[in-house]
Amino acid sequence: KTLFETTKTKFGTAHVGEKIFETTFAGINSVDPCYREISDFVDEHNLEAEFYNQFNYKTAPFAPPSSNLQKKAQSRRNGLNEEKRKNYTTRFDEGETLDYACVMVEIGQFLYIGVGNHRGYGKKECENNYFGKAIIIRQNNTSDEIQHNILLKIASMGNTETKQDKDTDSMEDLAK
């Protein structure tokens, strides 16, 4: 039995199916623990997730970093750190690969990055290395409020300064 199927979407070729995190991340227990937590949340709430091996970050319809909802999803006090974003852009343009997929939620016409803001916006600004792994969670059949809550919950699971720093932001932090 196939664990996932491949489908064409407006963003390219995606893998979809149950437990998409586990079937697309070999050895998920050895990757950043936030992905395990997000995977459990997606499975528990029967959310639709798509995994892309070659997502085009350059043309992705990201919400502007200045949007109020994106600022909440990037909940650190100062929001997106331009120096850190530029550092990622330089590293990606020099050939570094995106090892950890950004996790995004599609709301309306935009993709909101819940996990991997600096990496995602860094990829978008690349001159030549703007393809990489991505996970998109779509909930077209739910209200904007539910979609916002999904984004903020995922962001609370993944907002850490680095993958080694596990001082995650709580839902209370996100409300500030």
Quote the pLDDT of residue 126. Answer: 95
Q: What angle do CA 110, 111, 115 make, to 5 degrees?
A: 155
pLDDT of residue 159: 66
Tell me the per-residue pLDDT of 15-54, one tens digit each, with 9 for 90 and over.
Answer: 887 777 766 665 555 567 788 888 889 888 888 899 999 9
Pairing of strands 131-138, 102-107: parallel
Give the DSSP per-residue string, 21-86: HHHHSTTGGGS-HHHHHHHHHHHHTT-EEEEEEEEESSS--BPPTTSHHHHHHS-STT-S-HHHHH
Which pTM value belongs to this model? Answer: 0.83
Split at pLDDT 50, 70, 90, the class of 171 is very low
114-157: per-residue pLDDT in tens? 988 899 999 999 999 999 999 999 876 788 889 999 999 999 88
For the chain, give the percent of residues with pLDDT over 70: 78
CA 169/CA 156 separation, integer angstroms: 5
Q: How far apart are CA 90 and CA 51, in angstroms?
A: 25
Average pLDDT, the chain: 81
**What tokens does 102 get?**
């950004």
**Percent helix, strand and coil across the chain, each rounded to 5?**
40, 25, 40
Q: Residue 50 in contact with residue 140, Cβ under 8 Å? A: no
